[in-house]
Amino acid sequence: MGFKGKLALKYLVILSIFFSAYALFAQRMPYVGYIFPAGGKQGTSFTAMLSGQYLDGVLTNGITASDNGIKIEVLNYIKPLNGREITLLRDRLRNIQNALKETKKEINQISFYNELKTNQLETLTRAEAEKEIMEINKKLANPKNQRPPNPQMAEDVLVKITIDKNATVGEHEIRVKTANGHSNPLVFYVSDIPEFTEQETVAGNPMPTNTLSLPIIINGRILPGDVDRFRFRARKGYKLVAAVYARQLIPYLADAVPGWFQATLSLQDSKGKEIAYLDDYKFNPDPIIYYEIPADGEYIVEIKDAIFRGREDFVYRIMLGELPVITSIFPLGGQVNRKTEVSLTGWNLPVDKIVVEPENVGTIMISVTNNNFLSNLVPFQSDSFPEVFEKEPNNNIKSAQEVTFPVIINGRIDSPSDTDVFSFNAEAGEDIVIEVKARRLNSMLDSIVEVTDSNGKRLYLNDDSEDPSAALLTHHADSYIRFTAPYGGKYYVHITDSQHKGGSDFPYRLRISRPNPDFELRIVPSSINLRAGASAPATVYVLRKDGFTNSIKLSVVSPKGFSISGNPTIPGYTNQFRINIYATPEVEKKDYELEVQGVAKVNDKEIVRKAQPAQDMMQAFYYHHLVPSKAMIADIIGIVKPAPKQSQPASKKK
């Protein structure tokens, strides 16, 4: 083999070693499955437990939060023991206990043979010996020592969480950091009301032992065979809201069916008689009970899994009290830069109407405050098209409401028998889009849309259309139709509920327009770990809308020192694109929040869209969902050292 062949072989070996090392490195990325408790009150400090995999080497201050008002300190790292470690600990425990028995009580020191060095005596004071016995028993008692059922929750990290009194109320993210970089994010809530954390007792304990004062948030877990009950006192006329946060904490479980903790909630009187029960709330797996207390006294709230499962990551929070909750709004959206009066329905609301004036096209979250308590957040959609309201009667072709597109119609299916019909004119060969936004905006409507001619002949029909951008929906129930008008003239759009239901909770937004090509971007994962002078892989997903097929040029907008290697252009029609994010050698060793964007042209108009960080989460062994994260974190964990210069062979020297 010649010099060039040997050199090529040498580089091939180096590359092989590099990629093998990278694969091993990638496999050792820290992962967290849950945190318990999954939230806390402003101005409090408490201990919490995180469970996951590859958490060894977690840094003392290596758990970060998306809010600066949340400080987390690592207290202890607990890893399952292997067989040899268990045997050695048991031997040491026996040696210490025997030494204590054999040594007279008036003697303060004991001596015994070290289990690893049988010929070497070790000496401890009685206090040291008793302390070590407690520590060994604690380590041996870890149930995860015996082949943990889920290796992704085999390791625990005990932490102290301190929440500043001015920390932002609401949802945040927590990530674990080790020498290998950041983990996936976990949901963590900050509240403004007192919190209580369940102390694990015997599973199935028939009656609660704690009487709680309202308002309060209860933190707990459903372990195998577990049913949790909590007692509280309330007065007559108290408008109680009992809201569970479970799937909102962990949206998808990879190794469980249906893919999340399916909580049920029961309200009982002081004798345990059930007076209210709920499984799902509307289409949301997390139940919410509204109940007006009939008499002064004690009551019980009970939570369990709907199919009587239990595991350590079945973490929940129950919000309990006379708290404001918005159950529905109308309309579901409005035109950008215009004031829209929005009617509110719910419990314990301070007002029944608010005015919303969105500044940009997209979805914003609205809420209200009552007695300094913040309500839940509900989505409000803003668009650039003109908007109108549905006008009854419009239940058939003869009474159809005439509209001119482009338009967004704000309407509601008022009763199980209600069908809303709209007419519009189109020219032959004109491309038309008809889209419903209802379920994606928390409406109960399961729409079905039909396009007919003036004789009632069906031309097009759609029931459900999947929207991958709505990653948390359990049922994609909104309709979408795109067609080319076969003739010039009048068309009729019929919308109703496919389940033959209706009422105040069944509003919708119906868009009739020409195609409005657009796109959204998701970038996975939301935590990348790399060295300065090197790159790390990521995947960008394109969610194309209204027939958008063009190419998209990607770039890192911020911070400086980061870029996308190679040709960062997603080809037309491509929905998944692999990239490598590069950090220059000058980038400092710390964490950065990355912003990646995509630029495309549609009809000579430039469209710029930010890539939403996301996690690719598996549901029930099979389904994948791109669940949005609040930020994309790049962790510079080291610097690539330049390769040493190779001396030339003697034959090549001049």
- The 3-class SS string of 145-178 reads HCCCCCHHHCEEEEEEEEECCCCCCEEEEEEEEE
281-303 mean pLDDT: 95
CA–CA dist 216, 321 (Å, integer): 6
Does residue 299 lie in a domain region? yes
Number of domains in the chain: 6
Check pLDDT > 80 for residue 122. yes
What is the average per-residue pLDDT within 446-465?
Answer: 97
Which pLDDT value is given to residue 646? 60
For the ranges 141-155, 192-206, 237-251, which has the lowest average pLDDT? 192-206
Does the pLDDT at position 65 exceed 70?
A: yes
Whether residue 184 sits in one domain with residue 35? yes
- How high is the pLDDT of residue 630? 94
What is the full DSSP assignment across 467-508?
A: -TT-TT-SS----EEEEE-SSSEEEEEEEEETTS--STT-EE
On whether both 33 and 179 belong to a single domain, the answer is yes
List pLDDT tens digits, range 488-521.
Answer: 999 999 999 999 999 999 999 999 999 999 999 9
For residue 407 the two structure tokens come to 């338009």
440: nearest Cα among 391, 487, 379, 491: 379
3 state SS for 319-364: EEECCCEEEEEECCEEECCCCEEEEEEEECCCCCEEEECCCCCEEE
Residue 648 pLDDT level (bands cut at 50, 70, 90): low
pLDDT band, very low/low/confident/very high, at 72 (cuts 50, 70, 90): very high
Answer yes or no: are the C-beta atoms of 75 and 60 closer than 8 Å.
Answer: no
Model confidence at 587, in pLDDT bands (50, 70, 90)?
very high
Residue-wise pLDDT tens digits, 630-641: 999 999 988 886
Residue 293 and residue 337 in one domain: no
CATH of the domain at 572: 2.60.40.60
Question: What pLDDT score does 11 carry?
Answer: 39
Average pLDDT over residues 140-159: 83
For 210, residues 6+ apart whose C-beta sits below 8 A from its C-beta are 196, 230, 231
Binned at pLDDT 50, 70 and 90, residue 643 comes out as: low
pLDDT of residue 140: 87
In this predicted model, what pLDDT tens digit does every residue of 309-351 receive, in sequence order?
999 999 999 999 999 999 999 999 999 999 999 999 999 999 9
| Average pLDDT of the residues of the chain | 90
Question: According to the model, what pLDDT value does residue 21 have?
Answer: 39
348's torsion region: left (phi>0), alpha (psi -120 to 50) or beta?
Answer: left
Q: Is residue 207 part of a domain?
A: yes
Residues 35 and 179 in one domain: yes
Q: In the listed set 513, 545, 580, which residue is the last one of a domain according to the structure?
A: 513
Residues 215 and 315 in one domain: yes
263 and 167 share one domain: no
pLDDT in tens, 225-281: 899 999 999 999 999 999 999 999 999 999 988 999 999 999 999 999 999 999 999
Say if 9 falls within a structural domain: no
Q: Calculate the CA 652 to chain-centre distance.
A: 60
pLDDT of residue 23: 41
DSSP-derived pairing of the beta strands 527-532 and 632-639 = parallel
pLDDT tier at 113, thresholds 50, 70, 90: confident
The answer to whether residues 234 and 264 belong to one domain is yes
The whole-number pLDDT of residue 649 equals 57
CA distance 447 to 439: 8
**CA angle at residue 221 from 216 to 226, to 5 degrees?**
115
Of the two residues 14 and 498, the one the predictor is more confident about is 498
Alpha helices in 50-190 (DSSP H): 83-102, 126-140
Residue 15: is its pLDDT beyond 50?
no
CATH of the domain at 33: 2.60.40.10
Q: Are residues 503 and 614 in the same domain?
A: no
185 domain-assigned: yes
Is 568 inside a domain boundary? yes
Is residue 654 included in any domain, yes or no? Answer: no
The burial class, CB within 10 Å (0-12 / 13-18 / 19+), for 319 is buried
Task: Indicate whether 359 pLDDT > 90.
Answer: yes
**How far from chain centre, in Å, is Cα 246?**
11
| Whole-angstrom distance, CA of residue 175 vs CA of residue 196 | 23
> How high is the pLDDT of residue 28?
78
CA 593 to each of CA 72, 417, 430, 560: distance values in angstroms, whole numbers, following the listed order: 19, 51, 44, 11
Residue 5 reports pLDDT greater than 50: no
- What pLDDT score does 14 carry? 38
Decide: 96 and 133 in contact? Cβ < 8 Å: yes
Mean per-residue pLDDT, 62-78: 91
**pTM confidence score:** 0.87
Mean pLDDT score, 15-25: 39
- At 533, is the secondary structure helix, strand, or coil? coil
162 and 106 in a single domain? The answer is no
**Which residue, of 513, 543, 573, is where some domain finishes?**
513
Q: Are 233 and 320 in contact (CB under 8 A)?
A: no
- 97-101, 412-416, 444-448, 576-580: range with lowest mean pLDDT: 97-101
Domain of residue 542, residue span: 518-639
Return the CATH number at 437. Answer: 2.60.120.380
Q: What is the pLDDT at residue 209?
A: 59
Q: Among residues 32, 48, 50, 34, which one has the least CA distance to residue 157?
A: 50
Pair 437, 305 in one domain: no
What residue has token string 């890192």?
A: 556
Q: Are residues 271 and 203 in the same domain?
A: yes
Q: Which residues contact 480 (CB under 8 A, 6 or more apart)?
A: 433, 434, 435, 436, 462, 465
Domain boundary among 323, 347, 369: 323
Bridging pattern class, strands 325-330 and 353-356 = unpaired
* pLDDT over threshold 90, residue 196: yes
DSSP 650: G
Q: Using 50, 70 and 90 to split pLDDT, how confident is the model at 647?
A: low
Q: Which of 87-91, 292-296, 303-307, 389-393 has the lowest mean pLDDT?
A: 87-91
Q: What are the Cα distances from residue 403, in Å, to 152, 374, 457? A: 55, 39, 20
Query: Helix 126-140 to helix 83-102 angle, to the nearest 10 degrees?
Result: 150
Cα–Cα distance between 140 and 413 in angstroms, integer? 61
| 402 and 506 together in one domain | yes
Residue 422 has pLDDT above 60, yes or no: yes
Q: How many helices (H) and strands (E) does the chain have?
A: 3, 50
* Cα gap 497→499, rounded to integer Å: 5
Tell me, yes or no, whether 352 lies in a domain.
yes
Determine what percent of the chain is predicted with pLDDT higher than 90: 74
Greatest alpha-carbon span in the chain? 106
Note whether residue 534 is domain-resident.
yes
Identify any residues that bridge with 143 across adjacent strands, giving them in sequence order.
none
> pLDDT tens digits for 534-580?
999 999 999 999 999 999 999 999 999 999 999 899 999 999 999 99
Exposed/middle/buried for residue 185 (C-beta within 10 Å: 0-12, 13-18, 19+)? buried
